[in-house]
Amino acid sequence: MDYRSEVFGARYHLDVALRLLRGFDEYGSKMYVVGVIRELARASGKLVRAFLIMDGTRGGLDVFRSKVGKKYLDVDSVELLCRVLEVECEQRRARVELLKRDGVLLEVDGGWRILRFERLRDFAEGVERIINSFPTTIKR
């Protein structure tokens, strides 16, 4: 497998997430927020896979977090990718999702979590920064 196809896939999912963010700004529907979370998670997952393939390491998110991510990214970037994937997992497990004016309330495992829209934009900017700084010789 080639890691470059994973990077291109991550770029595609990030672009979809950015379009959904613009749609949310215009229409304000919860459907857009769910789409943004899922597309950012797909982009993050593809980036994690790309780094694992590039390093030649087998494993999942724990291996990426503990070994591979530190070689190529700073600690904040590694945690950002992992956090995006965790937020998507929490969103899937959420029994109730309520759209508020500045965020989304998620009821996960009996507790409430608040996901602010600014945080989604920060996730998108962070994933875009990681994709743009990916060590590759491909012209963009």
Tell me the percentage of the chain whose pLDDT exceeds 70.
95
Taking the model in full, what pTM does it have?
0.87
Question: Could you tell me the residue range of the domain that residue 121 belongs to?
Answer: 3-132
pLDDT in tens, 81-100: 999 999 998 888 887 777 77
Kindly state whether residue 140 falls inside one of the protein's structural domains: no
pLDDT in tens, 54-69: 888 888 888 999 898 8
Kindly state whether residue 102 falls inside one of the protein's structural domains: yes
Counting the structural domains of the chain, the total is 1
Q: What is the CATH number of the domain that holds 68?
A: 1.20.120
CB-facing half-sphere around the CA of 72: CA atoms within 13 A: 21
Kindly state whether residue 138 falls inside one of the protein's structural domains: no
CB-facing half-sphere around the CA of 47: CA atoms within 13 A: 33
CA distances from 76 to 56, 106, 136 (A): 23, 24, 21
